[in-house]
Chains A and B, each alone.
Chain A
Amino acid sequence: MRFFNTIKVALRALRRNLLRSVLTALGIIIGVASVILMASIGDGAKFQVEASIANLGQNIVTVFPGNFTAGGVRGGMGSASTLTVEDALAIRTQIPGALNVSPDMRDRSQILANGLNWNSTIQGEDVNYLDIRIWSVVSGAMFGDADVRSGSKVCVIGKTVADQLFQGTDPVGETLRIRNIPFKIVGLLANKGFNYFGQDQDDVVIIPYTSHLKRIARRPFLNSITVQSATADQMARVQQDITDLLQQRRNGKDPDFTVRNQQDLAEAATATAKTMTWLLLITASISLAVGGIGVMNIMLVSVTERTREIGLRLAVGARGKDVLRQFLLEAVTLCSIGGIIGIGCGIGFSGLIAHIQGWPVQISTIWILVGFSVSAFIGIVFGFFPAYKAAQLDPIEALRYE
């Protein structure tokens, strides 16, 4: 029997018991809808984590100092004062994959301006730091190379600092005092929001690292070095090159530094989201399997009800495989229609949840395809046994069946 005719027969059979078909398909509809819903919530969470990781900057490798030990007291990660400006300059000149290098200085300090005061992070950076962090200046401009060379008393400030000290007025051109040293505000940074760890990234004052070393921290050691590799593929390579270079600069002594790669952080962060997604998907799969059992049940009923019809078809020359195909296709058609409706419901519910809960749902084509394929596959798996039973019927017995 031709494919088109078989489909027509399948649709007619399903329409004959419309309510029963709808109720059976409901199992598949709920299953597929929950798969789509769970996948889009999981993907949304993953996407959000990835976005906040990307917000830190692109292709970043960070060098931290090692731990400090004195008299048996171990200071923990980053406590040693071993990273120098020379290390940063060596990375910049000797590692080809390092696109941008910025030595980082970080200190908390009270700042005063406009008759108000505020405690914030004073960060010492190089000019290209904003490029690394994909950060822009909304008013004024970033300080220049000349400022870094001469260690000028200039700064750019984050939005939180501007709000706290200048309360809405444009701070560019104003002066603020850090540890009683006046710094001229040359730029106001764009709003960057909270980072993945919940810290307010806008609560910051950025000054040239040279000024920070000389005037604020007054020590010759860096807090870290931020390196941006040219491409994501080069990140691991750059990480290794930096390790080798710094090791070499320390003449083979025990490494007193750590090199971290942004990818590691991203992987650790998305691992949780992935686990969640899989948990939700397993739950959804169970409801799909239950739906499949419903399909099998109804197909068995359908085969019994239509025993005489099967007998007739066999008598007029249908082979066993024609009957098998007919019932299999009926189950697959039922499940596929259920799958399509389920996909629609899943997308609808995702949108509803995004709207009501404000969750970042992400509907991907791949899950829609998976949802459809799985429903068709369930039709094949759970439709096979009833179809096989139908195909094995003896025409004489089937014709006589009351």
Chain B
Amino acid sequence: MSAVVQIEEIHKIYNSGEVPVHAVRGVSLQMAKGEFVAVMGASGSGKSTLMNLLGCLDRPSQGRYLLDGTDVSGLDRDQLADIRNQKLGFVFQGFNLLARTTARENVELPMLYGQHHFTSKELHGRAMSCLELVGLGQRAEHFPSQLSGGQQQRVAIARALINQPQVILADEPTGNLDSKTSVEVMGVFQKLNAQGITIIMVTHELDIARFCKRNLIMRDGRLVSDVAVTGQSVATVELQKILEAEAAAKLTA
């Protein structure tokens, strides 16, 4: 199976301050289609910079990045925008949904950009199927303010899915959610991963990382650990445990 993501000796140096900051110092890795990877590390470890590079939001100072076989390291602003639109999906910690815009319209947003032009019927149809995939088909016409945090993040995941990307990049997707909702969101990711979608996520939480198949650990701009997860947590099972615990708490109370 060919690699969807392939980076070779990638460096990122920020020259904006007095002293150049070497945020990423020569990282090489490959990810095959259908992988589910968690990137972990302390603040300042370079994991966010790595994610920005993987997400084509930033260009490496040095090294090569092949996304789905295309070398994207030398592309300009507009070309990177098109790559993000066509090949990548983003999920953010703060959801970043447009206020006073319905869930469906939020999901349609990436389809409005890019080189293809869709009819409003196509937009509507694809947005609805993505919302159904994350279990929010009934909430399509709700505004973000009318949805819970978990539901908002699922809308954001549906938005990331709309252009059928090669990779979904999630930056601390559970950072703003409670533990039960976090498990629900991880359940959505596991379901999508089971359908063959490649997912890369940044997280602080070790137990969240255990829902992934592979864990990377960054320190001082270098990759220090790259291990396959043994005994992967299964969201449906974990959720069941939480529900049982809640029920027990109520029984004893």
Q: Do A and B come from one complex?
A: yes
**Taking beta carbons and an 8 Å cutoff, which residues of A are in contact with B?**
1-2, 5, 12, 16, 308-309, 311-322, 395-396, 399
Q: Are B92 and A320 within 8 A (Cβ)? A: no
Which of B77, B81, B117 has the most chain A CB atoms closer than 10 A to its own CB? B81
Question: For A315, what are the chain B residues with a Cβ–Cβ distance below 8 Å?
Answer: 55, 57, 84, 90
The answer to whether B81 and A319 touch across the interface, beta carbons within 8 angstroms, is yes
Given A12-B101, A317-B81, verify A5-B112 contact (CB < 8 Å). Answer: yes
Given A12-B101, A317-B110, A319-B113, 17 additional A-B pairs, CB 8 A: A1-B112, A309-B98, A312-B92, A312-B98, A313-B109, A313-B113, A315-B55, A315-B84, A316-B113, A317-B113, A317-B114, A319-B78, A320-B77, A320-B81, A395-B57, A396-B52, A399-B96
CB-based nearest B residue for A8: B105
Whether A322 contacts B113 in the complex (CB less than 8 A), given A12-B101, A312-B96, A395-B57, comes out as: yes
Q: State A12–B98 Cα separation when bound (angstroms).
A: 11
**Taking each of A1, A312, A318, A322, which has the highest tally of chain B beta carbons within 10 Å of its own beta carbon?**
A312
Which residues of B lie under 8 Å from residue A313 when comparing CB positions? 109, 113
Chosen A-B contacts, 26 in total, with CB atoms closer than 8 Å, are A1-B113, A5-B112, A12-B101, A16-B100, A308-B96, A311-B96, A312-B96, A312-B98, A312-B109, A313-B109, A315-B90, A316-B84, A316-B85, A316-B113, A316-B159, A317-B86, A317-B113, A318-B81, A318-B113, A319-B77, A319-B78, A319-B81, A321-B78, A322-B113, A396-B57, A399-B92
Q: Which residue from chain A places its CB closest to the CB of B160 in the assembled complex?
A: A316
- Complex CA distance for A5 and B113, rounded to whole angstroms: 11
The A contact surface, by secondary structure, is: helix
Contact present for A2 and B114 (CB under 8 Å): no
Q: For the complex, what is the distance from the CA of A395 to the CA of B52, rounded to whole Å?
A: 10
CA distance A4 to B137 in the complex (A): 26
B58 at the interface (CB under 8 A from A): yes
B224 CB to closest chain A CB, in angstroms? 24
Among B58, B77, B90, B117, which residue has its beta carbon within 8 angstroms of that of A316?
B90
A308 — nearest CB in chain B belongs to which residue? B96
> Assuming the A-B contacts A308-B96, A396-B52, are A316 and B57 also in contact, with contact meaning beta carbons closer than 8 angstroms in the complex?
no
Residues from chain A with a CB closer than 8 A to the CB of B112 are 1-2, 5
Interface residue ranges, B against A (CB under 8 Å): 52, 55, 57-58, 77-78, 81-82, 84-86, 90, 92, 96, 98, 100-101, 109-110, 112-114, 117, 159, 163
Distance A1 CA – B98 CA, assembled complex (angstroms): 16
| A2:B117 contact, CB within 8 angstroms | yes
Q: Which of B78, B98, B117, B163 is packed against the most chain A CB atoms within 10 Å? A: B98
Q: How far is the CA of A396 from the CA of B82 in the complex (A)?
A: 16
Q: Bound complex: CA of A168 vs CA of B35, how far in Å? A: 109
Interfacial chain A residues near B109, Cβ < 8 Å: 312-313, 316
Compute how far the CA of A308 lies from the CA of B100 in the bound complex, rounded to whole angstroms. Answer: 15
State in angstroms the CA–CA spacing of A117 and B112 once bound together.
89
- B-chain residues with CB within 8 Å of residue A322 when the two chains form the complex: 113
Q: Which residue on chain A has the smallest CB distance to residue B83?
A: A317
- Complex Cα distance, B109 from A72, in Å, reads 93
Query: Inside 8 A of A312's CB, which chain B residues have their CB?
Result: 92, 96, 98, 109
**Residues A396 and B58 in contact, CB atoms below 8 Å apart:** yes
CA A315 to CA B81, docked complex, whole Å: 7
A122 to B114, CA, bound (A): 86
B16 to chain A, nearest CB (A): 11
When the two chains form their complex, are residues A317 and B96 in contact, meaning their CB atoms are under 8 A apart?
no
Taken together as a complex, chains A and B put the C-alpha atoms of A5 and B78 apart, in Å, by 20
* Contacts A1-B113, A322-B113 given; does A314 touch B100 at CB 8 Å: no
A319-B81, A320-B78, A396-B52 known; A12+B100 contact, CB < 8 A? yes
B13 to chain A, nearest CB (A): 15
Q: How far is the CA of A399 from the CA of B101 in the complex (A)?
A: 18
Could you tell me the distance between the alpha carbons of A1 and B114 in the complex, rounded to whole angstroms? 8
Q: Is the CB–CB distance between B100 and A317 below 8 Å? A: no
Residue of A nearest to B112 (CB): A1
What is the CB-to-nearest-CB distance from A322 to chain B, in angstroms, rounded to a whole number? Answer: 6
Indicate the member of A2, A16, A319, A322 with the most B CB atoms within 10 Å.
Answer: A319
Instruction: Assess whether B78 is in contact with A316, with CB atoms less than 8 Å apart.
Output: no
The CA of A219 and the CA of B117, in the complex, are separated in Å by 91
B110 touches A316 (CB 8 A): yes
How far is it, in angstroms, between the C-alpha of A308 and the C-alpha of B117 when the chains are bound?
A: 25
Bound complex: CA of A313 vs CA of B101, how far in Å? 14
Alpha-carbon separation in the docked complex, A297 to B97 (Å): 26
In angstroms, Cα B38 to Cα A178, docked, is: 118
Q: For residue A12, which residues in chain B have a CB less than 8 angstroms away from its CB?
A: 100-101
Tell me which residues across on chain B come within 8 A of A5, comparing CB atoms.
112
The smallest beta-carbon distance between B56 and chain A, in angstroms, is 9
Q: How far is the CA of A315 from the CA of B114 in the complex (A)?
A: 12
Query: For the complex, what is the distance from the CA of A291 to the CA of B76, rounded to whole Å?
Result: 38
Give Cα A318–Cα B57 distance, bound, in whole angstroms: 12
